[in-house]
Structure 1
Amino acid sequence: MEDNLQSENEDSLDIKFYLPQQVINRLKKRLNEVIVPEGICCIPVGIGTASNGKLKVNEWLVLFSIYLPLTILDIFGDLGPKNHLLLINISALIQCTQIVVAQSVTQEDGQLFSQA
């Protein structure tokens, strides 16, 4: 019985997300439409293109702490089963970003993250 449970859990973690190019283009467009206050790092206009190169640390930070939270509901708001799981995944990444940059993290913070 324990083997079956482990097998079921492994299968549930093997979910692959495929974003059609149309959705990727829409996400890039929405990311570029976000207006941030002066002094906040902007993400590159050509994000996701080879010519743009890799994101810098501060660009990753603002992407996951400002830009994605403002755009994901617009892009993935239609909560079909796959979009729901994708939203949960992106939300977890956003929470991880907040934990990583926090001045301090308590055990309670870890428990809240585990429950989310």
Structure 2
Amino acid sequence: MIEYFLILISVFSTVISLILFKKASGILKYENGLLKFIKSLFNYYLISAIFLVGVSVVSYNLALSSLDLIIVFSFNSLTPLFVFFSGVIFFGEKINRYHVIGISLITIGLFFINVA
């Protein structure tokens, strides 16, 4: 049972890290020289995002050690769903019909992978 919790930790830490990377991208400064760019790399969002990527990798590998690859991979496919909704909620990104079709297909695919 802990293995499924590890998968969820992996998924949510990946999603949160992507949100933080997006926030950090607005802080990075490229135009005022190398020193300012290097200083801008040391911001809370970027450091937190990198840490969460590490958490995601470790929890994913721990889950893989005791579950089948297809199960871990299919649960990891929840990441685009949560990223999609996070973009809409946190950044006000627009939804079009292609997004809805794509998310629907991912959801249907996950259903069939886990039912079979």
What interval of TM-score do these two structures reach, taking the shorter chain for normalisation? 0.3 to 0.5
Q: Where is the helix percentage greater, Structure 1 or Structure 2? A: 2
Structure-1-length-normalised TM-score: 0.36
Provide the TM-score with structure 2 as the length reference.
Answer: 0.36
